[in-house]
Amino acid sequence: MVIAGGIALALFGIIGVGAFFVAGLVGLIAQKLPFSSLFSIISGYVSLALISLATGEAEFKLALGFGGISLFILLHAMLGHRKRNQVTVEDY
């Protein structure tokens, strides 16, 4: 997801910086919650989509496409974590 954050900074400029700041702030606040990284990713994307919606239709379409790619990255990471966590002692 860090790579997607860097891509968002390159694609969206100052809007990406604002979304990155919101995601980091939510991540710091939500440290005690069981899914703090998930909350920060969702809040960062929602803030990116809302700010880009306010700036123009072209930015919003770009944000929707970026959200789709980010969703695939997140699903791939979740499946990888699940696969690694299901390894038993007999597998070694």
Query: At 90, phi and psi to the nearest 5?
Result: -65, -20
Distance between CA atoms of 66 and 50, rounded to whole angstroms? 13
pTM of the model: 0.75
Distance between CA atoms of 51 and 15, rounded to whole angstroms? 7
Mean pLDDT of 66-83: 83
pLDDT band at residue 75 under the 50/70/90 scheme: confident
Chain Cα centroid distance, residue 50: 14
Look at 48 and 90; give whichever has higher pLDDT.
Answer: 48
Query: CA 20, 36, 81, 46 torsion: positive or negative?
Result: negative
Distance between CA atoms of 16 and 9, rounded to whole angstroms? 5
In angstroms, the Cα distances linking 31 to 25, 38, 87 are 10, 11, 27
Q: Where exactly are the structural domains of the chain?
A: 2-85
pLDDT in tens, 13-59: 999 899 889 988 998 988 887 777 778 888 888 999 999 999 888 88
pLDDT band at residue 90 under the 50/70/90 scheme: low
Q: What DSSP character marks residue 92?
A: -
